[in-house]
Amino acid sequence: AQSVTQLGSHVSVSEGALVLLRCNYSSSVPPYLFWYVQYPNQGLQLLLKYTSAATLVKGINGFEAEFKKSETSFHLTKPSAHMSDAAEYFCAVYDKIIFGKGTRLHILP
Amino acid sequence: NAGVTQTPKFQVLKTGQSMTLQCAQDMNHNSMYWYRQDPGMGLRLIYYSASEGTTDKGEVPNGYNVSRLNKREFSLRLESAAPSQTSVYFCASSALQGVKAYEQYFGPGTRLTVT
């Protein structure tokens, strides 16, 4: 069965540091992979989508994610964290519709 | 465009009461979804409707029913609320085709407490 695992329920980085949020999917390659962001008391917003057209996907707010089939991973990165990036981030697959449990990103001043 | 709207925003129910959560989208999307979000559990799919006239169970359908009233509207009904249904409920919609296929747009959520 398809599954999504996000490593780390909480991640803290200093402002200006690299952000790395990890996502692994189960062995069968899903047709679509997504990252969503949720700010407090709001619904989710799409950050980026992988559709097999390119392994490196650029999203909004300076985020990008790289699809690595050999590692069954789709990690989210941002070169320089900003205070406004503090939120919860969800990885998702669209084969069966499955979301990861989320990673809360904390930005340290 | 309002996007995806949900009503009500907050609701408190007593065990055994019933209620319907309403969702509407104005993006002409074919697919609509209902999720619940609980701390540490992420989002779990309750029901979805791939297109008007169809509905399918998701991961956690027990205790819920849905109605795809038309292309715009997708309601979620709790027939006999239980404390385990205390959660935040999100509705979402997506296109089935095109460059934005399967990109979900979410409503603001309904915070439900069952006492």
Question: Which of A23, A89, A99 is the mutation pick for testing B, counting most B CBs within 10 A?
Answer: A99
Contact between residue A44 and residue B90 where contact means Cβ atoms under 8 Å apart: yes
**For B37, nearest residue in chain A (alpha carbons):** A101
Rounded to an integer, the average pLDDT of B8-14 is 97
Contact between residue B19 and residue B8 where contact means Cβ atoms under 8 Å apart: no
Cα distance from A109 to chain B (closest Cα, Å)?
Answer: 26
Tell me the C-alpha to C-alpha distance, in Å, between residue B85 and each of A51, A52, B19, B89, B110. 34, 37, 12, 10, 12
Residues with Cβ < 8 Å from B30, sequence gap 6 or more? B50, B51, B52, B71, B94, B95, B96
Measured between beta carbons, the chain A residues lying within 8 angstroms of B47 are none
Cα distance from A97 to chain B (closest Cα, Å)?
Answer: 7
What pLDDT score does B63 carry?
A: 96
Per-residue pLDDT tens digits for A45-92: 999 999 877 889 999 999 999 999 889 999 999 999 999 999 999 999
Per-residue pLDDT tens digits for B58-84: 999 999 999 998 999 999 999 999 999
Contact between residue A60 and residue A48 where contact means Cβ atoms under 8 Å apart: yes
Rounded to an integer, the average pLDDT of B37-52 is 93
What pLDDT score does A83 carry?
A: 96
